[in-house]
């Protein structure tokens, strides 16, 4: 058995009780001879709260005005990649190249392959010296009126007829787009300049009297690459 606690002995939980009492606002009992100490409470002035609020508000306005904002097309988790890509703002040349990719797959890939490398009978467009000429005067004519007779492309001879597309691709922009796609296609090793609808329109008008007669390589080599 343990001896009974005397009245002079402090209660084991006295400190905890005092702390709890202090936390709830009650004044704990102090040992004899201890002077009470006044505790000063700190209050935030209302004007300081107001100043901080105004600074935060002004900072938000400043960022909104000078931060540049979002681009016109903001990624949306609900969009597919193709949808977002189609809405992204691009340069006129890039827009022409994208249109040309579609025209190529629809009309040209069957012969020249999607890789642009052609086959044993069809000349390649990838790395072609005809495609990478300094100007598009000859290649525009080839698309409009086709080609026959043997032609040497990048040192290799091909002998196959290309049909005219003048009456199929009646939109000058479509021809400019597909030739821009081919001539600027770095994945194919091409690095020539883009083709404009105005260039196609001019050559279409200049060769109107030719009808659908094919060109020969000999005739084309007598025409300057560019004006």
Please check whether residue 15 lies inside any domain of the structure. Answer: no
Are 135 and 226 a contacting pair, CB within 8 Å? Answer: yes
Measured in whole angstroms, how far is the alpha carbon of residue 132 from the centre of its chain?
Answer: 27
Could you tell me the CATH number of the domain that includes residue 207?
1.10.760.10
Please check whether residue 78 lies inside any domain of the structure. Answer: no
Please check whether residue 198 lies inside any domain of the structure. Answer: yes
Helix/strand/coil percentages in the chain, nearest 5: 45, 5, 50
Q: Which pLDDT band, with edges at 50, 70 and 90, does 176 fall under?
A: very high
CA of 23: how far to CAs of 16, 29, 34, 42, 165, in Å?
A: 10, 13, 20, 16, 92
Residue 107 sits in which domain range?
91-221
Looking at residue 52, its pLDDT comes to 85
Please check whether residue 197 lies inside any domain of the structure. Answer: yes
Please check whether residue 122 lies inside any domain of the structure. Answer: yes
Q: Which pLDDT band, with edges at 50, 70 and 90, does 192 fall under?
A: very high
Please check whether residue 140 lies inside any domain of the structure. Answer: yes
Write the pLDDT tens digit of every residue in 8-54: 555 444 444 444 444 444 555 656 666 666 656 666 788 878 888 88
Number of independent structural domains in the chain: 1
Please check whether residue 117 lies inside any domain of the structure. Answer: yes
């Amino acid at each position: 058995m343990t001896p009974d606690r005397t009245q002079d002995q402090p209660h084991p939980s006295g400190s905890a009780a005092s702390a709890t009492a202090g936390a709830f606002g009650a004044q704990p009992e102090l040992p004899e001879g201890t002077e009470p100490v006044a505790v000063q409470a700190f209050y935030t002035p209302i004007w300081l709260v107001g100043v901080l609020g105004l600074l935060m508000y002004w900072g938000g306005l400043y960022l909104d005005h000078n931060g540049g904002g979002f681009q016109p097309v903001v990624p949306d988790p609900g969009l597919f990649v193709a949808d977002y890509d189609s809405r992204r703002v691009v340069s006129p040349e890039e827009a022409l190249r994208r249109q040309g990719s579609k025209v190529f797959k629809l009309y040209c890939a069957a012969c020249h392959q999607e890789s642009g490398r052609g086959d044993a009978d069809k000349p390649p467009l990838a790395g072609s010296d005809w495609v990478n000429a300094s100007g598009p005067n000859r290649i525009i004519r080839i698309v409009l009126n086709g080609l026959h007779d043997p032609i040497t492309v990048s040192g290799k001879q091909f002998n196959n007829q290309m049909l005219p597309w003048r009456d199929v691709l009646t939109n000058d922009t479509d021809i400019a787009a597909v030739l821009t796609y081919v001539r600027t296609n770095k994945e194919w090793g091409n690095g020539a300049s883009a083709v404009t609808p105005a260039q196609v329109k001019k050559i279409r008008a200049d060769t109107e009297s030719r009808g659908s007669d094919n060109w020969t390589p000999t005739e084309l080599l007598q025409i300057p690459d560019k004006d």
